[in-house]
């Protein structure tokens, strides 16, 4: 069976002031074709590090990562990937269209295909009207969308999104959520890290939860979460222990459950 | 090659839209116009004087541009986070290093050519077409291009592991030291002995010999072109030195872990 992502016993250690930090500790994970997988975990859990290994930015200390069966360190492994980094920014001196052209050229796309694809992704992220404006004049939401457009220029089979909704308003978050759902429906593999657990719950087939560099939970949301429980509560229970669970405020879903049962919130 | 040229194009668009080059071109134009029209110390009428100061300014501005652009290319990508989106595409780090170098070098060469065109126009205006030897001018421009290639590669090399300001400072110090001190070193080598002599000899052979590319005196005093073999040997030296620096830059960059915070 072919996997979009295969991570086997991945260890990443960083030197830090005379000692070493274990950023990833024996991480193993597989993501099948066409799956939408949410990669969740607290800050510093190693999510971005794992994504950076997948993209070949970081050499692992041991273990290996593969993309569509190819070693992630090889540049050919990135031909079928679209990636949106955390805190995306881009060349603000270019126009949106110039940026997409440049991105397409890096995938060696033919001129005619590229023109059509640029128009298609501009429509997809709904930024056609600003395509010929300098990116420096864009709002944060528009910047996020043009960065997403450049990640999709090659019509990738695997889309890796690192905190795609970070810093966006509710409307922007909804747009991204719709887009992820659309990509999933088109049969793309979507792998995204997020702190917005309600979004992960809505759009993902499966979640992989990371804590201190280790995989602590993995599976479909419905299998992991008890009936009536939210993913957020499960997250707190798994990552920080029961005491933090007691401190947590009830989520809207749980509030609804309590109201149905006649509890006061 | 398409990928390398694509990265080169980004450097070009960045420079064209930042307008740094235009400022230097206007500065040079103003300087040359002042030299010709103000007749400072009664030397305004001398073509030699215009050529001398104009070439000095052209070398100075070219030097500044080369260091400024080359030292900024890679750290800026890292600082604004664009390096992640760029390397997430099927682009190797070697292609990135070569593309950035080619961008920095070609922009600097284009700007320097514009400086030379302006200077030539001024010289011809002042002393007629006979005031400039075409063959020496072509050799001088080509060898100047080789100097800029080495400078860009040196700046890029330092910037793979340093903040852009630190890289620029180090490039300026090292290149000026090489340009000014190296021609005087053979005398020092003759006097030094033992490990001092070995050390001086290593420094002498390791640093780039920018002085061998300098055709300014020949251009100013119309001493004529150098012979073809010497000219090609010097060009080859420049190409090999640049290639070596780029290879070291790639080695330094190929396993680098990026961090926006470190460069902010």
Q: Give pLDDT < 50 ranges for chain B.
A: 263-264
Please report the pLDDT score of residue B129 as a whole number: 65
> Are B84 and A103 within 8 A, CB to CB?
no
Nearest CA in chain B to A48: B84
Distance in Å, alpha carbon of B154 to nearest chain A alpha carbon? 24
Q: Which residues contact B108 (CB under 8 A, 6 or more apart)?
A: B62, B65, B66, B69, B70, B148, B151, B152
- Please give the DSSP secondary-structure letter assigned to residue A169: -
How far does A235 lie from chain B, in Å, by closest CA? 28
Across the interface, whether the CB atoms of B257 and A58 are under 8 A apart is answered yes
Best of B72, B88, B94 to substitute, by most chain A Cβ atoms within 10 angstroms, is: B88
Query: Which of the residues A75, A137, A147, A154 would you substitute to probe the B interface, choosing the one with the greatest number of B C-beta atoms within 10 Å?
Result: A75
Mean pLDDT calculated for residue range A142-151:
88
**Beta strands A70-71 and A62-67: pairing type?**
antiparallel
Q: May I ask the CATH class of domain A1-80+156-224?
A: alpha beta
Residue B66: exposure state from Cβ atoms within 10 A (0-12, 13-18, ≥19): buried
What pairing do the DSSP bridges indicate for beta strands A3-16 and A62-67?
Answer: antiparallel
Cross-strand partners of A82: A159
Question: How much is the pLDDT for A70?
Answer: 86
Under 8 Å CB-to-CB from B146, ≥6 apart: which residues?
B213, B234, B235, B238, B239, B242
Tell me the shortest Cα–Cα distance from B254 to chain A, in angstroms.
9
Q: Do A91 and B82 touch (CB under 8 A)?
A: yes
Q: Tell me the per-residue pLDDT of A173-185, one tens digit each, with 9 for 90 and over.
A: 888 888 888 888 8
Between positions 67 and 86 of B, the ones with CB within 8 A of A are: 80-82, 84-86
The reply to whether residue B88 touches residue A93, judged by beta carbons under 8 angstroms, is: no
- pLDDT of the residue at A234: 78
- Per-window interface: A 224-243 vs B, CB < 8 A: none
In this structure, the number of other CB atoms found within 10 A of the CB of residue B142 comes to 15
Interface of A with B in 22-81 (CB under 8 A): 55-59, 75-76, 78-79, 81
List chain A domain ranges. Answer: 1-80+156-224, 90-153, 226-265
pLDDT digits (tens, 9 = 90+) for A10-69: 888 887 777 888 888 888 888 888 888 888 888 888 888 889 888 888 888 888 888 888
Residue reference for tokens 């990833």 = A24
Say if B2 is an interface residue toward chain A (CB within 8 Å). yes
Question: In chain B, where are the structural domains located?
Answer: 2-263
Encode chain B in three state secondary structure: CHHHHHHHHHHHHHHHHHCHHHHHHHHHHHHHHHHHHHCHHHCCCCHHHHHHHHHHHHHHHHHHHHHHHHHHHHHHHHHCCHHHHHHCCCCCHHHHHHHHHHHHHHHHHHHHHHHHHHHHHHHHHHHCHHHCCHHHHHHHHHHHHHHHHHHHHHHHHHHCCCCHHHHHHHHHHHHHHHHHHHHHHHHHHHHCCHHHHHHHHHHHHHCCCHHHHCCHHHHHHCCCCCCHHHHHHHHHHHHHHHHHHHHHHHHHHCCCCCCHHHHC
With a CB cutoff of 8 Å and minimum separation 6, the contacts of B231 are: B139, B142, B143, B225
Q: Nearest CB to B85: which of A90, A93, A94?
A: A90
| Integer CA distances (angstroms), A190 to A80, A186, B100, B231, in order | 12, 11, 32, 58
The shortest C-alpha distance from A24 to chain B (Å) reads 15
pLDDT of residue B126: 72
Interval A210-236 mean pLDDT: 81
Q: Report pLDDT digits (tens) over B42-101.
A: 555 577 777 888 888 889 989 998 999 999 989 988 888 888 888 889 999 999 999 999
Q: Which chain B residues are Cβ-neighbours of A90 within 8 angstroms?
A: 80, 82, 85
- Mean pLDDT for A247-253 is 49
B interface mutation test: which of A106, A140, A143 has the most B CBs within 10 A? A106
Query: What's the pTM?
Result: 0.85
B263 touches chain A (CB under 8 A): no
Chain B CB contacts of A91 below 8 Å: 10, 13-14, 82
Return the top range by mean pLDDT from A141-155, A214-228, A243-257, B20-34: A141-155
Asked if the C-beta of A98 comes within 8 angstroms of chain B's C-beta atoms, the answer is: yes
Of A83, A91, A105, the CB nearest to B88: A83
A255 touches chain B (CB under 8 A): no
Alpha-carbon distance B91 to nearest alpha carbon in chain A (angstroms):
6
- For residue A117, give both structure tokens: 């694809």
Chosen from A91, A101, A110, A151 to mutate, greatest number of chain B CBs within 10 A:
A91
Chain A neighbors of B91, CB-CB under 8 A: 75, 106
What pLDDT is stored for residue B135 in this prediction?
85
């Amino acid at each position: 069976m072919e996997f979009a992502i295969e991570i086997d016993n991945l260890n990443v250690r960083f030197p830090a002031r005379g000692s070493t930090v274990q950023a990833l500790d024996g991480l193993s994970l597989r993501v099948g074709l066409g799956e939408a997988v949410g990669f969740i975990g607290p800050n510093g859990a190693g999510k971005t590090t794992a994504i950076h290994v997948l993209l070949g930015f970081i050499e692992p200390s041991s273990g290996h990562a593969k993309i569509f069966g190819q070693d992630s360190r090889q540049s050919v492994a990135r031909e079928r990937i679209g990636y949106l980094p955390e805190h995306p920014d881009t060349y603000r001196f270019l126009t949106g269209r110039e940026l997409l052209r440049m991105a397409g050229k890096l995938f060696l796309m033919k001129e005619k295909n590229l023109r059509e694809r640029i128009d298609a992704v501009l429509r997809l992220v709904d930024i056609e009207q600003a395509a010929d404006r300098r990116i420096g004049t864009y709002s944060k939401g528009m910047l996020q969308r043009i960065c997403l457009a450049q990640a999709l220029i090659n019509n990738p089979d695997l889309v890796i999104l690192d905190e795609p909704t970070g810093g966006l308003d509710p409307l922007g978050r909804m747009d991204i959520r719709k887009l992820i759902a659309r990509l999933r429906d088109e049969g793309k593999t979507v792998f995204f890290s997020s702190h917005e657990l309600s979004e992960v719950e809505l759009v993902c087939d499966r979640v992989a939860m990371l804590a201190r560099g280790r995989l602590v939970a993995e599976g479909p949301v419905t299998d992991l979460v008890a009936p009536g429980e939210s993913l957020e509560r499960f997250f707190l229970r798994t990552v920080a222990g029961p005491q933090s669970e007691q401190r947590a405020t009830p989520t809207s879903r749980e509030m609804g459950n309590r109201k149905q049962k006649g509890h006061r919130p | 090659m398409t990928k390398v040229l694509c990265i080169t194009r980004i450097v070009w668009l960045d420079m064209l839209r930042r307008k740094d080059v235009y400022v230097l071109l206007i500065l040079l134009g103003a300087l040359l116009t002042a030299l010709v029209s103000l007749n400072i110390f009664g030397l305004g009428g001398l073509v030699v004087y215009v050529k001398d100061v104009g070439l000095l300014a052209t070398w100075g501005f070219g030097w500044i541009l080369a260091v400024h652009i080359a030292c900024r290319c890679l750290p800026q990508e890292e600082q604004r986070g664009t390096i992640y989106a760029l390397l997430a595409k099927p682009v190797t780090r070697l292609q990135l290093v070569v593309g950035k170098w080619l961008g920095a070098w070609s922009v600097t060469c284009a700007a320097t050519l514009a400086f030379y065109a302006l200077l030539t126009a001024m010289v011809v205006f002042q002393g007629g077409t006979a005031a400039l030897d075409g063959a020496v001018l072509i050799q001088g421009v080509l060898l100047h291009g080789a100097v800029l290639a080495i400078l860009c590669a040196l700046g890029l090399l330092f910037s793979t592991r340093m903040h852009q300001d630190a890289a620029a400072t180090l490039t300026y110090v090292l290149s000026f030291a090489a340009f000014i001190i190296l021609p005087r070193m053979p005398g020092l080598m003759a006097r030094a002995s033992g490990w001092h002599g070995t050390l001086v000899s290593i420094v002498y052979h390791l640093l780039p010999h920018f002085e061998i590319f300098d055709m300014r005196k020949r251009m100013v005093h119309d001493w004529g072109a150098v012979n073809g073999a010497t000219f090609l040997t010097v060009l080859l030296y420049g190409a090999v030195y640049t290639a070596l620096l780029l290879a070291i830059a790639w080695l330094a960059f190929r396993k680098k872990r990026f961090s926006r915070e470190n460069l902010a």
